[in-house]
Amino acid sequence: MPRDAVASVHPRLAVAALEMMERNMGARIDLAKEAEFRDAR
């Protein structure tokens, strides 16, 4: 998930949401320029 490409209503909640994705879903949080996009097919 590119941290700098996520829109949020409240910055504090955006940080919490990204942390929850890391912990609960095993998401890797990077910057957009470091993101690797894969074909979802």
Domain extents in the chain: 3-34
pLDDT digits (tens, 9 = 90+) for 5-22: 777 788 788 888 889 999
The span from the CA of 16 to the CA of 9, in Å, is 12
User: For the chain, what is the largest distance between any 2 Cα atoms, rounded to a whole number of angstroms?
Assistant: 34
| pTM for this prediction | 0.63
The span from the CA of 6 to the CA of 23, in Å, is 18
pLDDT at 26: 92
Q: Give the number of C-alpha atoms closer than 13 A to the C-alpha of residue 38, restricted to the C-beta side.
A: 3
The pair of three-digit structure tokens given for residue 13, joined into one six-digit string: 């909640």
pLDDT at 40: 62
